[in-house]
Amino acid sequence: MLASHRSLMVSIRLYLAVLALCLTGQATLAQSAPRKPDKFLKWSMAKHAALITYQAECDWAAQFGKIDEKDSRLPTKRTIWYQKPNVFKVVATQSESNFVQTSVSDGTDSADSSSGAFVSFQRASAPRSIATANSMFMEHPMFCGSLLYKFFGGAGKYSELVNAKKMKIEFGEDVTLDGNLCRTVAFWAQGLYGKTEIAIGANDGMVYRIRYGSEPLMELVNTDAGKLMLKNAIESPESQEALKKAGKSPDMKTLLKDLDKSRPKSYLTTETYHHIAIGQPIPPTVFSTKEPEKP
C-alpha cells in the first residue's frame, strides 16, 4: 500500500513538472518580442496600453545644428505621472533658468501652466486619453509633448505615430539603456517629429529613449507661414512683457533679424527615460488642476 502511494506521488510530481515545463514554454513564447519592426512597435504600444499606472524621469536635450555641444544643448528634466487612461501630470524644468512648464489632467479637467509670462494658466476639459491630449503643452515637443504618449493609446494608435508612406520602418543597432537591452526602431513620425529612432526594451517593451530630427518643424520655421506665426507669438502681450522682464528689446525687427542669424539648419532632440515605475499607486493630490499661486 505504501509503495503504491509513493508511486502515485512520483507520478503526480512528474506530471506537475512536465506541466510546468509546458506552461513555461507557452509563457516564453507569448512574451517573446516580434521580429518585424512594425509588429515590434505595436507590441510595445500594447504593453504600454495595458499599464494601470506609470511613472518616469526623463532627460531631455536638444542639439541645434553643428554648434558646439556645450553651447547648443538645453538640458531639461521631465517628470511624468500617468494613470490609465487620461489622468496624468508632466512637469518640464529647464535646468539653467529654472523655467517650469506643467500639464496636468485629473480625468475631468486639464490645465497648463508655466512659471513665466509666456503662457498664462489655461484650463480645459480632460482628453479621453493621454494619447489624444492636444493642449499646446502636450502637443509641442519643446514644452511637455512627446511621442511616448501615443504608446499609451495602444497598437490602435500606430497610424497616428508612424508615417509609413514617408519612410520605411526598420530596426537599427541594439543598445543598452538603464541596464536594459533595447532594440531600436527607425521610422518617420507623424506631426512635428520627423525622422525618429525609438529604443524599446527587448524584454519588457518599455520605451527607454526617443530621438527625432524635427524636420517638419525646421521646414515650417523657414516658410512665410512659419515666420508669420513667430511674429505673432513675439508680438503677443505675454511675450512682450516677458521680454521686458528679461531685459531684452521687444523690437520686432531686431528680434527677427537676430533669429534669422541664429536659425539652425538641423535640430536633434533626445529623450532618455529612467527610474520607470509600473503599477505603483500615485496619490490623487499629484493630479490637482488647481491654478498655482503666483509668486
Q: In this predicted model, what pLDDT tens digit does every residue of 56-102 receive, in sequence order?
A: 999 998 887 654 444 444 568 999 999 999 999 999 998 766 788 99
> For the residues 133-161, what does the mean pLDDT come to?
94
Give the pLDDT band of residue 138 (cuts 50, 70, 90).
very high
> For the residues 223-244, what does the mean pLDDT come to?
61
For the whole model, what pTM was predicted? 0.77
CA distance 33 to 29: 9
CA distance 188 to 197: 9
| Average pLDDT value for the chain | 80
3-state DSSP call for residue 179?
A: coil
Give the pLDDT band of residue 4 (cuts 50, 70, 90).
very low
Q: How high is the pLDDT of residue 223?
A: 66
Q: How high is the pLDDT of residue 12?
A: 36
Cβ burial, residue 254 (10 Å; 0-12/13-18/19+): exposed
3-state DSSP call for residue 268?
A: strand
Q: How high is the pLDDT of residue 33?
A: 83
CA distance 44 to 51: 11
For residue 92, give the nearest of 107, 75, 108 by alpha carbon: 75
CA atoms lying within 13 Å on the CB side of residue 62:
14
CA distance 156 to 37: 16
CA distance 262 to 267: 12
* Ramachandran category for residue 95: left, alpha or beta (phi over 0 → left; psi -120 to 50 → alpha): alpha
